[in-house]
């Protein structure tokens, strides 16, 4: 898989983190080092860059930085990923959301938007389309552009349909998009209740109050300290008794925040804000 | 056949046992999990390929038949001794310098997530000669490069003898690139791990 010639030292990783922070204002110091190193090694292999070339490109080429950002932040996502999560959401959280006149949902680290549209489909099938609004945010402008387009390859859709089958939802995933040759386009009706915008979990603050925040498979890229910083942001962004969803392998580890959230679904890591 | 004396030494002093398997490896992994002693004094990590939405009973079966503690890996879990960790489906498992696991959802490697290469490579960087790794039956080449990295960093590397592997491609790929320091028959693997 990998070219064994690319070997990065811990000191070089730190050097790159500093460089990116100074030149581009993005702070990756709280990211887990093992995955960061793997991503940087990968971009060096793909682009056939030495460490020096990489630094040179990061300093002198703004377009390259966008590519770099896209490559080192993992943008692999699926619709209805972890179907049992959507099952849990449907039975435990949707009844709560339906009591609101209007509910706001934030999908943090939404990448190319698949999870935002999964959420939109879930709301639509629960009859809550007109009573809900979903914000998708990411640090990467390029992936957000794709998210707004809402067009996915048919090959991916097949695997999403398989996920959907396991969610226990009654409808059909194909009710929500139009097939165009080898691609599937998400219906406009679903897009109307969504807004995609840039937000950096590391450096940006609260921008609204939400009934539900979903941030799945994002915490795995952060060290515990940064996770805590972001938990604080989520806590403050949730309404009283609002829900927080983490990925199925991600749990709240901080004692401070364990007291501030009640575990609603231990398997899917769905939490509810308690206290105020 | 009694295991090589040098190999036996290194098995005994290793802190981490890495096991990688794909198609055709379940039975032998099951046997290994069964025979490992509860006071092994090592961390055991299993990376086995499986489908994402196929809620396999693998963990349950392993746990019921093991005398060691068995855990599916969660993000930032600490690597403990006398515990068998199994890599979760649909994630790659990396190891951090501080001795914790870090999960990753990036693209599959050799069509596989979890990928054996990814875990082996990251273990090689952190644990070097303190690991012993065994690559078992499988129908693709995942694990070969990772095993090579382990070998180059001083770890003890073993491939299951292709004659004994249900699917020969995986151990053969490792042997072909010189990643396997030892090529052992299944019964030799059992003997080594129960010593």
DSSP states along A212-252: EEEE-SSGGGB-HHHHHHHHHHHHHHEEEEEEEEE-TT---
Assign A72 to helix, strand or coil: helix
CA distance readout (Å), A201 to A208, A238, A270: 14, 15, 19
Q: Which residues, numbered 105 to 134 in chain B, qualify as contacts with chain A under a Cβ-Cβ cut-off of 8 Å?
A: 105-107, 109-110, 115, 117-118, 121-122
Q: What pLDDT score does A91 carry?
A: 96
Q: Which residue of B has its CA nearest to A160?
A: B53
* Chain-centroid distance, C-alpha A21: 22
CA angle B49, B54, B56 (to 5 degrees): 75
Which residue of A162, A224, A251 is in closest CB contact with B74?
A: A251
Assign A113 to helix, strand or coil: coil
* Chain-centroid distance, C-alpha A183: 22
* Chain-centroid distance, C-alpha A80: 13
Digitized pLDDT (tens) for each residue of chain A, 276 residues in all: 444 467 789 999 999 999 999 999 999 999 999 999 999 999 999 999 999 999 999 999 989 998 999 999 999 999 999 999 999 999 999 999 999 999 999 999 999 999 999 999 999 999 999 999 999 999 999 999 999 999 999 999 989 999 999 999 999 999 999 998 899 999 999 999 999 999 999 999 999 999 999 999 999 999 999 999 999 999 999 999 999 999 999 999 999 999 999 999 999 999 999 975
Quote the CA–CA distance of A225 and A202 in Å, as a whole number. 11
Chain B residues with CB under 8 Å of A10 CB are 97
**Chain B contact for A259 (CB, 8 A cutoff):** no
Predicted-complex ipTM score? 0.91
pTM above 0.95, yes or no: no
């Amino acid at each position: 898989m990998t070219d064994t010639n690319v070997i990065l030292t811990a000191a070089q990783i730190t050097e790159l983190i500093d460089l990116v922070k100074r030149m581009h204002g993005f702070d990756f110091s709280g990211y887990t080092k093992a995955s960061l190193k793997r991503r940087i090694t990968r971009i060096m292999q793909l682009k056939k860059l030495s460490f020096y070339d990489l630094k040179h490109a990061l300093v002198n080429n703004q377009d390259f930085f966008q590519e770099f950002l896209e490559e080192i932040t993992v943008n692999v996502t699926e619709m209805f990923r972890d179907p049992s999560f959507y099952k849990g959401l449907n039975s435990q959280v949707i009844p709560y959301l339906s009591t609101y006149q209007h509910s706001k949902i934030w999908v943090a680290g939404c990448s190319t938007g698949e999870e935002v549209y999964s959420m939109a489909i879930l709301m639509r099938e629960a009859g809550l389309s007109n009573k809900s609004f979903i914000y998708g945010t990411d640090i990467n402008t390029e992936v957000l552009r794709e998210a707004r387009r809402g067009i996915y390859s048919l090959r991916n859709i097949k695997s999403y349909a398989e996920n959907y089958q396991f969610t226990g939802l009654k409808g059909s995933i194909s009710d929500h998009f139009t097939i165009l040759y080898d691609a599937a386009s998400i219906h406009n009706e679903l897009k109307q209740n969504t807004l995609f915008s840039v937000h950096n979990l590391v450096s940006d603050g609260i921008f609204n109050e939400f009934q539900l925040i979903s941030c799945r498979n994002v915490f795995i890229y952060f060290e515990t300290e940064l996770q805590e910083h972001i938990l604080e942001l989520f806590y403050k962004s949730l309404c009283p008794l609002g829900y927080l969803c983490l990925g199925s392998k991600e749990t709240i580890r901080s004692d401070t925040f364990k007291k501030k959230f009640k575990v609603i679904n231990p398997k899917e890591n769905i939490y509810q804000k308690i206290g105020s | 056949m009694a295991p090589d004396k040098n190999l036996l030494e290194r098995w005994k002093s290793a802190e981490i046992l890495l096991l990688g398997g794909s198609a055709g490896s379940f039975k032998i992994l099951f046997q290994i999990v069964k025979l490992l002693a509860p006071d092994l004094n090592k961390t055991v990590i299993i990376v086995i390929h499986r489908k994402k939405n196929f809620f396999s009973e693998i963990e349950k079966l392993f746990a019921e038949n093991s005398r060691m503690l068995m855990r599916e890996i969660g993000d930032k879990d600490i690597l403990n001794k006398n515990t068998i960790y199994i890599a979760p489906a649909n994630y790659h498992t990396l190891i951090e310098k501080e001795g914790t696991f870090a999960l990753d959802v990036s693209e599959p490697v050799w069509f596989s997530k979890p990928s054996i290469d990814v875990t082996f490579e990251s273990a090689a960087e952190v644990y070097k000669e303190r690991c012993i790794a065994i690559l078992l039956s499988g129908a693709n080449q995942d694990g070969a490069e990772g095993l090579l990295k382990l070998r180059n960093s001083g770890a003890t590397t073993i491939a299951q003898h292709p004659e004994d592997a249900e699917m020969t491609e995986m151990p053969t790929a490792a042997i072909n690139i010189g990643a396997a320091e030892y090529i052992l028959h299944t019964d030799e693997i059992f003997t080594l791990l129960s010593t």
